[in-house]
Structure 1
Amino acid sequence: MQRPIASYAIALFGVAAIAWLTAALLPKIGITSAALMFLLPVLYAAVRGGLLPGLLAAFAGAIAYNFFLLPPRFTLRIHGFDNVISVLVFVVVAVVTSRLATLLKAREEEALARAACSEELAALSALLAAKDAASALGEAISWLERRHDRILLIDEDFLSGNDAGLSALDLAAASWALHNADMTGHATQVMPAADWTFIPLGPHLGTDPDVLAVARPATGVTRSASDLSHLGQIAALLGQARDRAALEQETRERERLAQGDRLRRTFLASLAHDFHTPLAVITGRLVSLSQTVPDADEALEAARRLERMLEDLLGAARIEDGSVVPRMESVDLVDVVGAAVEAVRLPGRIALVRDIPPDLPFVHADPVLLRHCLINLLDNAGRHAFGTVTLSARCAGSRMVLAVCDDGSGIAEADRARIFERFIRLEVDDRGQGSGLGLSIVKGFAEAMAIPITVSDSASGGACFRLSLAQVSPRQPEPEE
């Protein structure tokens, strides 16, 4: 709308111009056409200036029409119904036109405002997507500060320090928005008397900042609902950038940890591999030496224990990097058990009882991995037994159950899941010398071969580990006589 004084002046000038023109052309255009021409300044004044300039043009046009055109001309007399109707028509045209113009102008302003908001959101989205989320978030805040009033990003530390000098009411509104994830402050339904509007950036993810604070407009006007909606969209974009920054940081941290794990596994595998060959030579020499020097038995046992530890390191590295690929075949348990028993030397006070029938059916397994599992189970049982370790095998339907039991203190039921984790040692006395890897390797190798493993109490009160293997040719039950 034009300024009021200019609108009134234009209305009067338009009426005067039409009056002069119609007075000069009246013989040619006639009274009816001349009357219609007085509607032009009324329409223009109502559209450009609003209701009051339009009414001024209507009344001035009616007077000019009556004075200059209606007979007797150059006299101002209102007589007859047609004179009253002409005035009413001018007034109705002014009112209707001004109302329509006002509505159209309001619609136009709303459309322009929405377009400006959409343009700002698009520019903000492009800015946030242009760089990494952490730096883009700071640049977005600086960009918004140049387009809006004062803007702050608030978290718990900010509230405790109150660096911006917020009032007590603003601090209360900010705390409400921070802890309830609700828009508060100026122009909202919660603490509307505050000088700032506080908009949460989104769900709490444990990252900062959490709330966008926008000061009251410098003009002092109250923000409209559309303004609050626009600020909410801005806060949502900033919240997405914040969450993306947190995810990027978490991804970088995971990559760093994964790289560290890969380096550690590579180092352990390389160390175990490099020590394996010279240790095998040392073990071989000690075997020969122990045949003539009895004192060499202790050194031989230490070398064998170190060799098993290196094999455990290699096994752990293979399990972690997923390189354990079992070669399943038909396996004779008698041979595998014999090889495992030969590789393990139990303490002298511990007796090994083997209950392995010679006519057992073959089982489906990887002989190398199964031997490693038995070695670790026997070594674990030998370290915890009081006097006896029992190795047995029994058919159970189409499965073969291989059990390694001891008469030690046993394992509490609450700890039976933890013992298969790496570096977990549940020692009840000072005899344990394990690395904490043996049982986790047994679990990993057994899972690779799809062999279930369980732990329970043994008949003598100790622990009993059972491997359930699939038989290649299940033994058929003998017919009853």
Structure 2
Amino acid sequence: MPDARTKATERTISLGLALVVTLVLGWAGINWPNFGTANFALLLLVPVVIAASGGGRMAGLGLAVLAGAVFNFVALEPRLTFAIAKSGDLLTLGVYALVAFVTASVAARLAEAGERARQDAADSAIFSAMTQQLLAAGTREQVLQVAAKALEASTQRGVSLVESIGDLSRSSSQDEAAARWALAHSEMAGRGLPLFSDASSVYVAAHAGRRPLLARLEGSAPQLSRLAHARDMIDEAADALDRLELAARIEAETRRAESEAMRRAIFASIGHDLRTPMTTLRAGLESISYHDPKVINPIRADALRLERTLDNLLELARLQANDALPDVSSMDLTDTIDAAIGALPQAIRDRIEVTIAEDTPLIQSDPIMLHHIVLNLLENAGKYSPETTSIQVLAHRLDGGARLSVMDEGPGIGEDVADLFGLFKRGHHSDCAPGSGVGLSVVDSFARALGHRVSIANRTDKPGTIFAIDFSDRTKLG
């Protein structure tokens, strides 16, 4: 598309050519007086058309006045003067002037229509090329670069395309106000427009897109039709940014789903490949009768601990993968406690003392997940307290719900209490008992999923730790 300098050059050439043609025709009329008034009048319309087509309506009207003067000077009696001897010649001059003016107007209008058609064709080509390039763009930076380049080609102005005010270079307060207003209202403001006309540039915000997009056009505002086309191009860029964001989200979701499927397959394989031999190993160890219990009992305990760790890891992974949503139902804590105690080694079972208040209400929880919670708390208490001490399990009503407490007589907790519930993290007394740091992480994760509150504190009556689980009658999974 030609720029302003090229258009000015074309107008100058058109006016010069029209003047030359007019002077040549005047010279010809002087030297060939018998050429004919009608023929001369028609020929003098040629420079009018040239001026109007190349220089616009005002240039055409100016040439029409000049052509009328030449026609009067050369063709009307008395010739070679501007005087008019006959009233009929005055009418002839008036008709010629009217025809010249109409011809200039029509030629200028046709020229303007042709220019608009050429601009529309050029804009369509730029828009089409930009659309193709936007489809191939793979990053937000590429989208902004392609759209800015297309806008510069279309508007013949320097263009900055940004997603926030902070990305614009420093400007005056009027420019900043215009940019903020345009972005806030998805409109246009700035130099040459009704709002913020004192700004140095024009600011055009996109209508489309989920995120803001603002273009700064340097200089005064172009024609409204040009601004409307620029807005269409900005909207297309905003849609391209949305497509990129959507494609990235779809790709991330696809990868997450693939990773999730792989993780589920891995854990399913682990569950099958490890649980089966662990069950066989446990059964084999239980059937062995060895003359020295000090040899076989530690082996059995290690096998049980390994099986428990495997179960905890698999259940924790399943929870994190959302494989098993909590299945909440009404439960009696007595049954839960009995089931957990029954799954423990005999040495720990013999140390447990259970006290359940008569008014302890039913609770709302997932049976399997709560079983793992209580089992891990009891096993933790057994590991970290002397074998000669008791483990107390208390249940009673609390604030419309219930509380289950597990109390041991171990060394208690220190300043590292925040790490106790972390996966594979163990407290500062971990050297006195075997473990992997999985059990309490299972307790914390399952309790959060179920909406139960787990707390930990040192005993006040003697050394030891109190783990408490609070069940609310308003427990709801969210």
Alignment TM-score, normalising by the size of structure 1 = 0.61
- Once residues 467 and 262 of structure 1 are traced to their aligned partners in structure 2, the CA distance between those partners, rounded to angstroms, is 35
Aligned length, in residue pairs: 400
Structure 1: give runs of 5+ residues left out of the alignment.
25-33, 68-72, 150-169, 191-198, 203-211, 213-221, 472-481
- Once residues 180 and 396 of structure 1 are traced to their aligned partners in structure 2, the CA distance between those partners, rounded to angstroms, is 55
Partner of 1:404: 406
Q: In terms of mean alpha carbon deviation, does 319-328 or 295-304 score higher?
A: 319-328
Answer yes or no: is 1:464 the counterpart of 2:470: no
Partner of 2:168: 182
Conservation of the 8 A alpha-carbon contact between 1:273 and 1:314:
no
- Once residues 43 and 244 of structure 2 are traced to their aligned partners in structure 1, the CA distance between those partners, rounded to angstroms, is 67
Partner of 1:217: none
Conservation of the 8 A alpha-carbon contact between 2:405 and 2:469:
yes
1:335 Cα deviation after fit: 3.0
Partner of 1:390: 392
**Aligned pairs for 1:23-62 within 5 A:** 44=49, 47-48=52-53, 50-51=59-60, 53-62=63-72
| Aligned-partner SS, 1:464 | strand
- Once residues 53 and 394 of structure 1 are traced to their aligned partners in structure 2, the CA distance between those partners, rounded to angstroms, is 107
| Aligned-partner SS, 1:133 | coil
Structure 2: give runs of 5+ residues left out of the alignment.
1-10, 177-202, 207-214
1:193-224 per-residue CA deviation (whole Å, 9 max, x = no partner) reads xxxxxx9xx9xxxxxxxxx9xxxxxxxxx998
- Once residues 373 and 363 of structure 1 are traced to their aligned partners in structure 2, the CA distance between those partners, rounded to angstroms, is 14
**Aligned pairs for 1:28-427 within 5 A:** 44=49, 47-48=52-53, 50-51=59-60, 53-67=63-77, 76=81, 78=83, 105=111, 109-110=115-116, 112-129=118-135, 133=138, 180-182=166-168, 241=240, 248=247, 252=251, 255-256=254-255, 258-289=257-288, 293-295=292-294, 296-326=296-326, 328=328, 330-345=330-345, 352-357=352-357, 360=360, 362-385=362-385, 389-396=391-398, 398-407=400-409, 408-410=411-413, 415=418, 420=421, 423-427=423-427
1:301 Cα deviation after fit: 0.9
Conservation of the 8 A alpha-carbon contact between 2:138 and 2:244:
yes
Percent same amino acid at aligned positions? 23
CA RMSD of aligned residues (A): 5.7
User: What amino acid does structure 2 have at the position aligned with 1:314?
Assistant: L
- Once residues 222 and 365 of structure 2 are traced to their aligned partners in structure 1, the CA distance between those partners, rounded to angstroms, is 71
- Once residues 34 and 376 of structure 2 are traced to their aligned partners in structure 1, the CA distance between those partners, rounded to angstroms, is 116
Q: Provide closer, same or farther for how the CA distance between residues 412 and 96 of structure 1 changes in structure 2, counting only shifts above 3 A.
A: farther
User: What amino acid does structure 1 have at the position aligned with 2:412?
Assistant: S
Conservation of the 8 A alpha-carbon contact between 1:332 and 1:363:
yes
1:425 Cα deviation after fit: 1.5
1:305 Cα deviation after fit: 0.5
1:391-429 per-residue CA deviation (whole Å, 9 max, x = no partner) reads 2100235422212244543375982xx7555x2524213
Conservation of the 8 A alpha-carbon contact between 2:282 and 2:300:
yes
1:371 Cα deviation after fit: 1.9
User: What amino acid does structure 2 have at the position aligned with 1:182?
Assistant: L
Q: Provide closer, same or farther for how the CA distance between residues 92 and 437 of structure 1 changes in structure 2, counting only shifts above 3 A.
A: farther
Conservation of the 8 A alpha-carbon contact between 2:377 and 2:467:
no
1:124-163 per-residue CA deviation (whole Å, 9 max, x = no partner) reads 214433x57369969x96xx79x979xxxxxxxxxxxxxx
- Once residues 18 and 238 of structure 2 are traced to their aligned partners in structure 1, the CA distance between those partners, rounded to angstroms, is 48
User: What amino acid does structure 2 have at the position aligned with 1:382?
Assistant: G
1:250 Cα deviation after fit: 6.5
Conservation of the 8 A alpha-carbon contact between 1:405 and 1:463:
yes
| Aligned-partner SS, 2:393 | strand
Partner of 1:196: none
Q: Provide closer, same or farther for how the CA distance between residues 469 and 44 of structure 1 changes in structure 2, counting only shifts above 3 A.
A: closer
